[in-house]
Amino acid sequence: MNAVFKIFLNLFPRTFLIRVSFLLRPLLKLIYKGSRYQDPIDGSLFRKLLPYGYQKQRPNVLSPSTLSLERHRLLWLFLKRETDFFTKPQKLLHFAPEQAFYKRFKKLDNLNYTTTDLNSPLADVKADICDLPFDDQSFDVVLCNHVLEHIKDDTTAMKEIFRILKKGGWAILQIPQDLNRDKTFEDDSITDPKERSQIFGQYDHVRIYGLDYFDKLKSIGFEVQPIEYTDSFSEKDKDYYRLPQREIIPYVKKP
């Protein structure tokens, strides 16, 4: 099953995988059912999880039921335990909506929920993150996770998020980040997809962010609170929920 999944991941475009995954999930959930690991998003229990990765496959990370990865499960636990996301009435804009969250967020009565992306079949509004069709101060909350590393002009994208966020509103802007790197690295001369995958982690990434990512967010005008939320969990719970060993949640506010 793992070999078949890997072939699917590498052969087919992401939009197709999103559509077909809705059919595969019930079967995967049954095949991998067990008691060793729990997906906190839906509470399902598994004997093991699926592998995932473009350049290098990470074993035991993709939930068979929600198709969540480590970062999704960490974010869910953060939103659930540390914020009023699930209870307070608020207007939410969700970029490139993750399958693990999409239907669950749509069902929440407290959210006025809008999704946006250029290509995703889950997007309500097809839009360029660098030129958003929303008025200033339109949203209370913005989720934009693992998007900015795909955007050539990430400065303009950050400014657009800042513009459409209400004063006092907050956002989570997760990115793949090398926490051992002080400076973000990008090189437009690297065009070969295989080489880009080796250097940036994925063929369609244009940079690998370093710790200076938080300074860049501050320069846009955000109040930035980098939260290393994995420190809140014991090693046993990190393994039980299959969380990242180290991941900083970029929690920002518009003053």
Q: What share of the chain has pLDDT > 90, as a percent? A: 74
Query: Considering 67, 96, 121, which residue would you say is the last residue of a domain?
Result: 67
- In terms of domains, do 99 and 192 share one? yes
Confidence at 200, pLDDT banded by 50, 70, 90: confident
Q: Which of 112, 85, 90 is nearest to 249 (CA)?
A: 85
For residue 17 the two structure tokens come to: 């995988």
- Is residue 158 located within the same domain as residue 56? no
pLDDT of 28 reads: 81
Please indicate, yes or no, whether residues 28 and 142 belong to a single structural domain of this protein.
no
**Residue written as tokens 């990242």?**
244
The gap from C-alpha 178 to its chain's centroid, in whole angstroms, comes to: 16
Domain containing 169 — which CATH number? 3.40.50.150
- Domain with 56, as residue range(s), is 2-67
Chain segment 175-190, per-residue pLDDT in tens = 999 999 999 999 988 8
Is the CB of residue 228 less than 8 Å from the CB of residue 200? no
From 95, 92, 37, select the one nearest 68 (Cα to Cα): 37
Pairing of strands 125-126, 223-227: unpaired
pLDDT higher than 90, residue 9: no
Same domain, 128 and 247: yes
Same domain, 22 and 85: no
CA distances, 11 to each of 2, 7, 34 (Å): 14, 6, 29
Q: Is the pLDDT of residue 4 over 60?
A: no
Residues 117 and 168 occupy one common structural domain:
yes
Q: Is residue 58 domain-shared with residue 81, that is, in the same domain?
A: no
Give the type of residue at 120: S
- pLDDT of amino acid 37: 98
* Alpha-carbon separation of residue 62 from 2, 65, 198, 199 (angstroms): 11, 9, 21, 23
CA–CA dist 44, 207 (Å, integer):
35
Same domain (yes/no): 39, 58: yes
Domain end, chosen from 33, 67, 101, is at 67
Does 7 have pLDDT greater than 70? no
Q: Same domain for 92 and 165?
A: yes
Say yes or no to pLDDT of 5 above 60. no
Q: What is the pLDDT of residue 20?
A: 52
Confidence of residue 21 (pLDDT cuts 50, 70, 90): low
Q: Considering 18, 33, 67, which residue would you say is the last residue of a domain?
A: 67
pLDDT of residue 53: 78
Give me the pLDDT at residue 238, please.
Answer: 98
Partners of 100 in the β-ladder: none
pLDDT tens profile 55-83: 678 899 999 999 899 999 999 999 999 99
Query: CA–CA separation, 117 vs 107, rounded Å?
Result: 20
- What pTM value is reported for the model? 0.89
Together in a domain, 50 and 79: no
Q: Each residue of 93-120: pLDDT tens digit?
A: 999 999 999 999 999 999 999 999 998 9
Neighbouring residues of 42: CB distance < 8 A, sequence distance ≥ 6: 65, 66
Q: Which has the closest alpha carbon to 73: 63, 82, 88?
A: 63
- Residue type present at position 146: H
Angle between helices 2-11 and 14-31 (to 10 degrees): 170
Give the model's confidence band at 195: pLDDT under 50 very low, under 70 low, under 90 confident, else very high: confident
pLDDT digits (tens, 9 = 90+) for 202-252: 888 999 999 999 999 999 999 999 999 999 999 999 999 999 999 999 999
Whole-number Å distance between alpha carbons of 193 and 201: 10
**Which residue has better confidence, 17 or 168?**
168
What domain count does the chain have? 2
